Chain A
Amino acid sequence: MEIPALSDEALVARARQGNRDAFGALVLRHQTQAVLIAQSILRNLELAKDASQNAFAKAYLGLGRFREDAKFKTWLFRIVMNEAKDVYRKEKSRGLFKFWSPRETEESEEESILETIPSSGPSPREAFETQEIRTRLEKAINELPTREREVFILRYLNGLALSEVAETLGIALGTVKAHLAHGTEKLRTILAPEKMGIQASSTLRG
């Protein structure tokens, strides 16, 4: 069987024996999602790429500690999140030593984590409205408490199953569900039509 066709478990078993090609296949399989997760925390693609690469390297060097009954994907994403949070803290503390306003720097370096899904032949008005929705949704997600934001992004934007979200964050399934419920309720309030303006509300009404 060719390496790329193997399951994560089989690739991990080979990588544990020092097979770098097997680990390379794991990297290629999960690299995009790893960058996306890091990007949702760091809001900077370059930093997200670097943090996710560090996470892969740490995962390889720590394969001995990986429990075989766990999922490699969620174990890896947990490392990615920790690494991204670590980088975020370092960047934040570096900002404190800068002479210019940290807020200004933060705003200029922060990138959008969302993009609109292109639909076939949207009118300029539709394109504008979708863009507006993206901005408001992103702003609303940013207003959520950290844990609720993480759960929401992993579940609805990264497309992880609830159990995978729980494993990635190292919390109970019930806690994930509670965070999701609170998070979506808050989003609904923040994105209420009266707060969203005419264009977005018309989209909401369909």
Chain B
Amino acid sequence: MDQEKLTPELEKLISKVKLKEPPREMMTNYLSEVNTKIDQGIRSSHFGFPQVTGFFVIGLTLAGVLYFFLMHPAAHVKEVSVEKNIADRSQEVTSPITSYIQTSTAPVSQKSLTLEEEMAVLEAFGDEFSDESVGLFGDDEALEELTVLDEVELSPGFGNQASGV
């Protein structure tokens, strides 16, 4: 085929050169070195791309694991009792509401609860608290008054007297 025919100029150039042959002394132990490599099963000592990639991936994985256990924001969230938090804020309020709250715990961050968060917690406890009571939560004097009124209502006579007035 014509395509594999070289031009006469190029043919002449190529006829003047050849691939550089290795020196004879370099090839003397060639076969024995091949046999050694066969016996060793060609253990490559090169530190090439696969090795570099391997180390990089392992390094990234370790860094990720360290970050997850030591630096991740979730690691700082502790399970703090709602009771402790509320007690800190309302300075030992003694009421049925507080005693009920004392039995429950929930995971919250260390930051103190806002009024809205407290409301949300209270709502989660159900309908046992009247809107009136919840509305007074945080107002120590009003809660104490409410407690006293509850105790008063427990005695029937007093209740009748009160209604009779």
| Interface of A toward B, CB cutoff 8 Å | 20, 24, 27-28, 31-32, 35-36, 39-40, 45, 48-49, 53-54, 56-58, 60-61, 86-87, 89-90, 93-94, 111-117, 130, 133-134, 137-138, 153, 155-158, 162, 177-178, 180-181, 184, 187-188, 191, 203-204, 206
**Contact residues in A for B31 (Cβ distance below 8 Å):** 24, 27-28, 31
**Contact residues in B for A35 (Cβ distance below 8 Å):** 22, 27
Number of residue pairs across A and B with beta carbons under 8 Å? 127
A157 CB, min distance to chain B CBs, angstroms? 5
Interface centre among A20, A35, A138, by most chain B C-beta atoms within 10 angstroms, is A35
B11 CB, min distance to chain A CBs, angstroms? 9
Choose among B12, B13, B26, B44 the residue that contacts A49 (Cβ–Cβ < 8 A). B26
Cβ-defined contact, A191 with B10, below 8 A:
yes
**Contact residues in A for B37 (Cβ distance below 8 Å):** 53-54, 56-57
Cβ-defined contact, B19 with A184, below 8 A:
no
Cβ-defined contact, B34 with A27, below 8 A:
yes
A-B contact pairs, 12 of them (CB 8 A): A32-B22, A45-B26, A48-B22, A57-B34, A57-B38, A89-B49, A90-B46, A133-B17, A138-B17, A157-B14, A188-B9, A204-B13
A133 CB, min distance to chain B CBs, angstroms? 6
CB closest chain-A residue, reference B4: A180
Cβ-defined contact, B22 with A45, below 8 A:
yes
Given contacts A20-B35, A156-B14, contact A57 B19 (CB under 8 A): no
Choose among A31, A61, A134 the residue that contacts B30 (Cβ–Cβ < 8 A). A31
Query: Within residues 9 to 52 of chain B, which ones have a CB less than 8 A from any CB in chain A?
Result: 9-10, 12-23, 26-27, 30-31, 33-35, 37-38, 41-42, 44, 46-49, 52
Secondary structure of the A side of the interface?
Answer: helix
**Contact residues in B for A178 (Cβ distance below 8 Å):** 3
Cβ-defined contact, A191 with B17, below 8 A:
no
Cβ-defined contact, A93 with B49, below 8 A:
yes
Given contacts A187-B10, A188-B9, A204-B12, contact A36 B35 (CB under 8 A): no
B161 contacts chain A at the CB level, 8 A cutoff:
no
Cβ-defined contact, B19 with A188, below 8 A:
no
Cβ-defined contact, A93 with B13, below 8 A:
no
**Contact residues in A for B114 (Cβ distance below 8 Å):** none
